[in-house]
Each structure stands twice: as C-alpha cells, then as structure tokens.
A = this chain, B = another copy of it.
Amino acid sequence: MGGDHGPSVVIPAVAQALAKLPADVRFLLHGDETVVGQEIARCKGLAERVEVRHAARVIAMDEKPAQALRRGKGSSMWNAVEAVRDGQATAALSAGNTGGLMAISKLLLRMSADLERPALVASLPTPRGFTTFLDVGANVDCDAERLIEFAIMGDAFHRCAHGTPHPSIGLLNVGSEEMKGHEEVREAHRLLREGGFELNYKGFVEGDDLTGGAVEVVVTDGFTGNVALKAMEGAARFMRNELKGALTADLTGKLGALLAGGSLRRFRDRLNPPPAAPLLGLNGMVLKCHGGAGVTDYEYALRVAVDLARSDFAGEIKRNMRRRPASMVEPGEEPAEGEV
C-alpha cells in the first residue's frame, strides 16, 4: 500500500518480476483486499501466483515513527514485517514511510547479535560496479564501535549482494593520513587496523572515492552519510537539469540531443540509484524501496529482495559479529557479557 503510487505500481511490478523469477518464488501481498484485488485482476494469471493478506489500515507517509508503533498493529506494513518474524516470508519490501518501517522492524524482529540499531545502506554506481555505503541516516551519533559494526554489516551485505568474497572496506574521512579526522574515526581506524576482524580494511577514503570506486564498502556515521548521499543526489539532479537546459537551448543542441537520445537515456539509467535499500542488523530481512519508485524500479527492488533472501546474508553478519569481540575489548577491560 506504500509509496507515492501504492498498489497501482506494486502489483504490475510483482507480475513483471514473477515472469522473470524462478517458479518457487512466492509473494504475500499485504493490503486492502479490494484495492489490491482490483489491481491483481488486471494482470493476467497473477491471481494464481500470489496470496493476498487483508490489512484494514495503512501507515501514512507522514506518520512519525512513534505513531507508527502505537497505531501500526494490523497495518499492511506491520503485517508484512510480522510475516518475516513468523517465518512466513523470508524478506519484506515496502515503499512506505521509512521511519515507520525502521521502528516496526526493530520492534518485531529485534536486532541481530549485539548490534544496537539498524543501519541504512545505499548502493552508489562507480566505473567498476557499486559502492556499498552506510550508514546513510539511521544513526546520527556514532562512536568507533558503531563504525566497526557498520564495517561488519557492510562487508556481509556487499559479499551477498555482489558476490565479492572479501570486499575492500574504507572509512570515510577528510584525508588519507593517520592523523586526519575526529576522534571516533581515528579510533575506528586503529581498531580496524589492529583488530583482526578478518575484514579487507584499506584505510581512510575521501568523499570523491564514493563514486570513484577506490573501495567496495565505505563506512561513515549516519549524519555524514545522509548529507553526502543527498548532496550527490542533488548534484546529479542539478546536472541532469543543466544538461537538459543546455541541449534544448538552441536548434543544433536540440537536434544533437535527438540523435544522442538513446545514449543519454542509458546515461540517465546508469545514474539511477538502485531503488531498494536494506535495513541491516535485524533478525530478518526488510528492504526499503524509495517512495517514488515506478513499476520498473519496484520490479528491480523485488528482484534485489529475492537475491538477498536467497543469500545467507543474516548468517554472514552473525559470523562477522563473532569475529569482533577479542579486539573490541580494551586491554584490561572485562569483555561484556555475550560478546565472547
């Protein structure tokens, strides 16, 4: 029911995805059965391949997380996450309210291992593939331990999403020298260097490495990550508009743009950020699809969700977490309960 377009986008996307996915992939659709049913009726043969679970209410796009928790029970979003908790679904995908989805997911699924809070991960295009970038907004204040958890989660995510056995990891900073940056980032750097996490840690990276592809996973706090992600999205939007303006300013520009149309479309497609962002660190898989997603985006998001659901992603994170303790414990300190 979520996102800017609701079932009119989600249902056709499910139909398109099913046509391409293996026969054993099944979908549970949570929402108003009348509205959802009408959309399903428009897609030939879809009714036989999906199961509709009626939900009488929805989480509105502008509800606060606390409201979503208080009044969310029985909503389509709540039920979708609950189905993951109860083992009826392997992953939940929503284009709805991000804060509500995080709060409901944390409540129903709880955090995995010793992790404190979910991290939101973004994928950025680079000349060679994708950069896994986290946290992009779930955690504003991050100490060194939180940054190391992001490295552990990012490593597991990138391995599962892109098949790289040992993805290279960088810590976002304002320079590459040891003494650069604030205390948290320098402490995380020290621990990652010395810590024996079995991570392929490469050291500090800078803002332009995010789309430059210097490393495969870039770790930062949720404040810097959110600002950097939105700054890049804004810059890309500005460039697209300027390009459009430049190419329609005069006749030869227009003619050229017409001829180069296919190339320019491929250019635009290449820059579209992948439409699904997983919430990392939960006991269960929840993905956020961006609210403005159209049918093609949502179909792509569904296939990302299926790929991740088939991977041993949660297991990877848990195994990574088990490597953490010995080196996270300060010399002379007692290891915290459950960490060894």
Contacts and interface: CB of A to CB of B under 8 A. Distances in A.
Interface stretch (A23-31, A104-112, A222-230): A222-230
A172 B235 contact: no
A196 interface: no
Interface of A: 125-127, 137, 140-141, 172, 174, 180-182, 206-212, 220, 222-224, 226-239, 241-243, 245-247, 249-250, 252-253, 255-264, 266-267, 270-271
B243 A252 contact: no
A188 B263 CA distance: 46
Contact of A174 (B137, B211, B247): B137
10 contacts: A207-B230, A207-B233, A212-B237, A212-B238, A227-B227, A232-B235, A245-B267, A252-B260, A252-B262, A260-B260
B259 A255 contact: yes
A125 to B, nearest CB: 7
A206 to B, nearest CB: 5
A51 B141 CA distance: 53
A246 B224 CA distance: 31
Question: What 9 pairs between A and B have smallest CB-CB spacing?
Answer: A256-B260, A207-B230, A208-B234, A256-B259, A253-B263, A207-B231, A246-B267, A246-B263, A211-B238
A246 B264 contact: yes
Contacts of A212: 234, 237-238
A186 to B, nearest CB: 10
B263 A250 contact: yes
